[in-house]
Amino acid sequence: MKMVDCTKGQVPFGKLFMTSGARKKANLAVEALQELAGAPLEYYAYLLTSQSEPNIVRDIYFPKNQSNSGAHTAVPAEEVVAAAKDIRELGYRVAGWCHAHPGFSTNPSQTDWQNNQDMLDQLAASNLYEWNRSLIQCGDSLDLRVDDKTNGNAKVRVLTGDAYVPFIQFEIETGGLYSFLARHILPRIRVKNLGMQVPRIAGFSFSIVVNGREGQEHSGITYVTNCGFCDTRPEYKFAKIPLETLAVPDDITVTADALMQELRGKVRGHYAGQV
């Protein structure tokens, strides 16, 4: 028998959107930074969304004094706090992070996976997604046991065979003849699939890797769910999800000059000193 798998097909968001302006900014920043520094540099930015639509990135925010090389980016702890204060004043929500791989593949590095988890740790308590319902399906047949034969109710246990969630219990209130039937017939039923609807909550954080070329971004979601049935072991999950451009009327405007102005003084390069 297989364990109950609630997580199958249950990624909190199936898509990530960026407004045209935000996507342009994320990619143009790679070029702008190279021009400022005289060498290719990574950068680190927060993905900013509205409070109510956390999968639509409306702007990206570069924390100050970030230290970057051609293959590394980091932000000092005190600047994380300063950025959080600033972003709150702007009315945005941080839904994840974005960083650059200047001139190379956007496939995440080992460090990037660790950063995805660190970012989730920072955001999970406030970045919540709630499912109203979800479906549990079990691929193999399950055992039904009727435990309580003493009163009118049938207490049914579905044995899952999983060490962590050995059974799921239901109480069926019947009475009279039905009670008799429930006790005698239910144990004989072979259950192949069990569909259940349960409320679930996930903490999540998005990640985007850019290399300056729109369409080549690597985008995904790191998340952790709480579920009474299957998530007894805390576990980070990651799903690669597609990134799509969204045209919005109140989009940010992006120009190379303004972007260089914004990056100047915020980004520190190992190659060229302060840029």
Binding residues for Zn ion, per CB under 5 A? Answer: 109, 112
Return d(Cα 66, Cα 74) in angstroms, integer.
6
Q: Which is nearer to Zn ion, 60 or 227 (CB)?
A: 60
Q: Which is nearer to Zn ion, 112 or 231 (CB)?
A: 112
* Residue sitting closest to Zn ion (CB): 112
Q: Based on the number of CB atoms within 10 Å of its own CB, is 9 exposed (0-12), middle (13-18) or buried (19 or more)?
A: exposed
How many Cβ atoms from other residues are within 10 Å of residue 228's Cβ?
A: 12
Least Å distance, CB 129 to Zn ion, is 25
DSSP code at position 164 = S
Q: Which is nearer to Zn ion, 209 or 227 (CB)?
A: 209
Return d(Cα 238, Cα 219) in angstroms, integer.
10
Q: Which is nearer to Zn ion, 4 or 16 (CB)?
A: 16
- Is 61 in contact with 83 (CB distance < 8 Å)? yes
Least Å distance, CB 109 to Zn ion, is 5
Least Å distance, CB 190 to Zn ion, is 50
Q: Which is nearer to Zn ion, 64 or 72 (CB)?
A: 72
Q: Give exposure, 182-221, as e/b (b: 16+ Cβ within 10 Å).
A: bbeebeeeeeeeeebeeebebbbbbbbbbbbeeeebbbbb
Least Å distance, CB 119 to Zn ion, is 13
Least Å distance, CB 249 to Zn ion, is 33
